[in-house]
Structures are given as structure tokens and as C-alpha cells.
């Protein structure tokens, strides 16, 4: 096993990734991957260099066309390039100017000086004029004379008729009631506005009904494994994307609307922070390298795979319900996690009636019966003969994540410890 990779080897890898290498050269390169670790590391470096060159627009027109035909053959790879483009554009932005900050500081200092000046003027005025406005002697004499001439108010004596009326009124009041109003008394329940409380609805709040229907799964402190299992959900829709639970990438935000699942761009949300585990990526910066590695840690789920809900959030202002989900373990990759947001019709969450929302959720998930959950899975890994014809997701669910993945156009090679699988158009065509 060689420790050094020559320039000719890197040029051969570049041709291999661009799809311009001959079939014989491609077979030689793939066989060398399993034997030469340094050569396979160089392959990953050259692949990352090509991704950055294409995203930055540094390729020639012919190389870019070959790169699109040979490498950008899947939605996952297209997302990788989109993420790198976004990160490169963020790095190219100029730093914010300090003039606005300095101008703000000058305004604050000027306002503070004016405030101090006003306070000092007020203190000086009170010190010089402690008694307020100065009165002339004639005004003081007239005010004193006016006060002396004004007789003090005398208490008014009630008339006999008024006194008699007051005694009759007092005697007619009920004993023990200190105050009685002539206005009709309205019961408290009628006086308060009618208010529908969710706790009074049969079945409890919408959140309580959902958690009763879909039992929550409790996770470990690091959110990478299951402590206690809740309801097992069977996925009924495609295009549900998730990332490894052990990775630092934020989980994708899947959206279900109009009968389809679409995946939101969660990886670019980390644009202002570098991700750990950065690989070698010349010219792309650490953030760009992490974005590519993070995109490679994602997985698309298909119909029939199982998931577990760990949290349910209801947003009544937006009429949405969000399920936080985690998957079964898949080999060395472990479990995957993601979120799914249900876009509901307007006003659906206001009534707290689960019957209105349940049909939409059941379009995506089916609760696995308890009898099926306790079924024992068949023991033993499948033989290479059984693997031929299986899809990528089926192979990963059976054998786990491969040690390495080599892609060239529509052809993919999965390298495991004891088997080498070749995929064409997403299905296994050869197992060695």
C-alpha cells in the first residue's frame, strides 16, 4: 500500500470523476480503492475539489458539461453543489462597514451630553430660586386679605323631610347587606363572555389527543438512541429526507402539502458557523467542506420504512403540526432524525377536533399494529445472490452503511468489508 499519490494518479481520478476515463481505467481505479487507502483518500479530495470548482465557476465549459453528466446525476449531489454555492457566496460578501456603528456612537454621545446639560441647568435654577416664582408685596397682602374675608364652610342641616326619608330608606334595606344597587343583578356566568376552553373538549387539547394517538418515543440525552419506544409509524410517502442523529447537522425540515413531501434546505441554516469534522477542500474553506460532508450524511426514506415520533408541536397561528421523528438504526450510520410539518387548511387547529386532521396525517403515516411490532425479524444477513436486484435503500437497511461509495455516472460501487456491490440505475447488478 503506497503512502503517496502521484500527480498522474490525481489526474486519472479527475478523469474518472468527470466520466472521461475509459472503462478499463475505471475498473482499475475501483479495484485499487479496496487495496490502497491513500489512493481512496485522494479520490475523496479530488471529488471535493471538483465540487468547489464547479460551484465557483472555475471549470471550462467542456469540463462543466462532463461534470454535470457524470456527477450531478442525483438530487443529493445537486443539493451538495447548491450548498457549496451558497456558502461560497456568503464568504464572498464584504464585512459590514463600521461607519454606521461609529455614526450611531456619535449620536448617542451627543444625546447624553444634552441630557447632562439639561439636568445641570435644572439644578442651577432650583438652587437660585428655591421658592419658585417671586411674588410682589402687594400680591401677598391681597391674597392674605382674601383668605381672611372668606368665611369657613358651615355643615348643612338636613331638613325634617329629608331626615325622615333617609330613616325610611335605611329601615327598608335588608339586614346584613351593606350595599344594594338598584340595577338588576346579572349572574357571573352570564356577565362573563362565553369562552370555550380546550380542556373542556372531550379528549383534551389537540396536543393531548395527538400524543394519545401517537405515543411519543423517549430519546437519550444526546438524542441519538431510544430509551423507551412509542408508536411505530410506517411511512406511506416518498421523498422524506433525514440526517444521521449522531451528526452535528440540523435535521431537514420536510413539509407535507397537497399530497407530497418536499424537503426544506436545512443545511444552509448553518451558514454562520463551521461544522466539526471538516475534510480537506482546497479553495472552499472549512464551511464548504462541512456542507458537502453534511449532505453526504443524509438519507432519503421510501415507502414501508418505520419511524418514531419524539415530539409533536401545534402552531395554531399558522395551522401547522410538526412531528419530530427518529428512524431505526442503519448499520454504522446509526439512527436518522428529521422533522415533518403538516400544512393544514386554514382554521383546522382552532377547533381542537382531531377527526378533522387525522385523515391528513394518515396519508403519510400508518401506525404499525402491536402484533407486528413484536414480530421477530429473520436472523442472518442475506447472501450476495439475494442482494442482486435490490435497491440502495434496501441494501443499506440489510447490510448497513458501506465503508466507501464510488460513483461514476449511473454506476455506483458500495465497498463493504467482505463484499463489493455494483449498482446501475439504483439497483444491484453485481456482487463480489
Higher-confidence residue: 321 or 372? Answer: 321
Q: Which helix (H) or strand (E) holds 406?
A: strand 404-408
Strand pairing class (336-343; 253-257): parallel
CA Rg, the chain, in Å? 38
CB 71 within 8 A of CB 50: yes
Residue 60 banded pLDDT, cuts 50, 70, 90: very high
pLDDT digits (tens, 9 = 90+) for 154-194: 555 555 554 445 554 444 444 444 444 444 444 433 433 43
Q: What is the pLDDT of residues 117-135, one digit of tens each?
A: 778 777 766 666 655 544 4
Q: By the 8 A CB rule, do 241 and 299 touch? A: yes
Tell me the three state secondary structure of residue 172: helix
DSSP state of 102: H
Whether the per-residue pLDDT at 32 is higher than 60: the answer is: yes
What is each CA distance from 133 to 67, 144, 427, in whole angstroms?
89, 17, 98
Q: Does residue 207 contact residue 314 with C-beta atoms inside 8 Å?
A: yes
**Cβ proximity of 266 and 197 under 8 Å:** no
pLDDT class of 313 with cuts at 50, 70, 90:
very high
What's the mean per-residue pLDDT of the chain?
74
Helix (H, G, I), strand (E, B) or coil at 364: coil
Terminal CA-CA length for the chain: 22
Torsion angles phi and psi, residue 427, rounded to 5: -130, 150
User: How buried is residue 16: exposed, middle or buried, by Cβ count under 10 Å (0-12/13-18/19+)?
Assistant: buried
Q: At what angle do helices 7-18 and 37-56 cross, to 10 degrees?
A: 60
DSSP code per residue over 275-288: PSS----TTTHHHH
Given pLDDT bands bounded at 50, 70 and 90, which one contains residue 287?
very low
pLDDT band for 115, please (50, 70, 90 cuts).
confident
Q: Which of 60-69, 114-123, 408-417 has the lowest mean pLDDT?
A: 114-123
Please give the average per-residue pLDDT across 253-268, as a whole number: 78
pLDDT of 284 strictly over 50: no
Taking 50 as the threshold, does the pLDDT of residue 278 lie above it?
no
pTM, two decimals, is 0.40
Other C-beta atoms lying within 10 Å of the C-beta of residue 231? 18
* Element spanning 18, H or E: helix 7-18
Q: Name the grid cell of 43.
A: 479520490
Q: With 90 as the cut, is the pLDDT of residue 312 above it? A: yes
How far is 253 from 46, CA to CA, in rounded Å? 31
Rounded-to-integer distance, Cα 98 and Cα 104, Å: 10
Confidence of residue 416 (pLDDT cuts 50, 70, 90): confident
Amino acid at each position: 500500500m503506497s503512502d503517496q499519490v502521484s500527480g498522474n494518479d490525481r489526474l486519472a481520478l479527475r478523469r474518472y470523476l468527470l466520466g472521461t476515463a475509459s472503462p478499463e481505467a475505471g475498473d482499475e481505479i475501483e479495484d485499487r480503492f479496496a487495496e490502497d487507502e491513500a489512493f481512496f483518500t485522494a479520490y475523496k479530495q479530488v471529488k471535493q475539489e471538483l465540487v468547489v470548482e464547479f460551484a465557483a465557476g472555475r471549470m471550462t465549459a467542456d469540463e462543466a458539461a462532463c461534470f454535470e453528466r457524470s456527477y450531478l446525476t442525483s438530487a443529493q449531489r445537486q443539493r451538495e453543489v447548491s450548498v457549496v454555492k451558497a456558502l461560497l457566496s456568503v464568504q464572498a460578501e464584504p464585512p459590514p462597514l463600521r461607519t454606521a456603528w461609529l455614526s450611531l456612537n456619535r449620536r448617542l454621545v451627543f444625546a447624553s451630553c444634552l441630557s447632562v446639560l439639561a439636568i445641570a441647568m435644572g439644578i442651577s435654577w432650583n438652587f437660585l430660586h428655591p421658592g419658585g416664582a417671586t411674588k410682589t408685596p402687594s400680591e401677598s397682602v391681597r391674597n392674605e386679605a382674601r383668605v381672611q374675608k372668606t368665611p369657613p364652610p358651615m355643615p348643612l342641616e338636613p331638613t325634617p323631610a329629608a331626615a325622615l326619608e333617609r330613616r325610611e330608606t335605611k329601615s327598608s334595606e335588608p339586614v346584613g347587606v351593606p350595599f344594594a344597587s338598584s340595577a338588576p343583578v346579572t349572574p357571573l356566568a352570564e356577565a362573563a363572555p362565553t369562552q370555550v376552553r380546550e380542556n373542556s373538549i372531550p379528549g383534551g387539547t389537540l396536543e393531548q389527543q395527538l400524543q394519545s394517538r401517537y405515543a411519543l418515543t423517549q430519546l437519550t440525552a444526546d438524542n441519538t438512541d431510544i430509551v423507551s419506544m412509542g408508536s411505530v409509524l410506517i411511512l406511506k410517502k416518498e421523498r422524506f429526507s433525514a440526517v444521521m442523529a449522531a451528526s452535528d447537522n440540523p435535521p431537514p425540515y420536510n413539509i407535507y402539502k397537497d399530497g407530497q413531501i418536499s424537503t426544506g434546505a436545512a443545511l444552509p441554516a448553518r451558514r454562520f458557523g463551521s461544522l466539526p469534522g471538516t475534510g480537506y477542500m482546497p479553495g472552499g474553506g472549512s464551511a464548504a467542506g462541512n456542507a458537502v460532508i453534511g449532505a453526504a450524511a443524509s438519507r432519503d426514506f421510501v415507502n414501508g420504512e418505520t419511524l418514531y415520533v419524539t415530539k409533536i408541536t401545534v402552531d395554531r397561528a399558522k395551522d401547522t403540526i410538526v412531528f419530530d421523528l427518529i428512524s431505526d438504526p442503519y448499520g454504522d450510520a446509526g439512527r436518522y432524525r428529521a422533522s415533518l410539518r403538516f400544512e393544514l387548511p386554514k382554521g383546522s387547529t382552532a377547533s381542537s377536533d382531531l377527526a378533522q386532521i387525522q385523515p391528513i396525517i394518515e396519508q403519510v403515516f400508518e401506525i404499525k399494529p402491536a402484533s407486528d411490532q413484536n414480530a421477530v425479524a429473520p436472523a442472518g444477513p442475506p447472501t450476495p445472490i439475494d442482494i442482486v436486484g435490490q435497491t440502495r435503500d434496501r441494501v443499506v437497511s440489510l447490510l448497513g452503511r458501506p465503508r466507501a461509495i464510488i460513483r461514476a455516472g449511473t454506476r455506483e460501487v458500495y465497498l463493504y468489508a467482505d463484499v463489493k456491490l455494483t449498482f446501475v440505475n439504483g439497483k444491484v447488478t453485481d456482487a463480489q
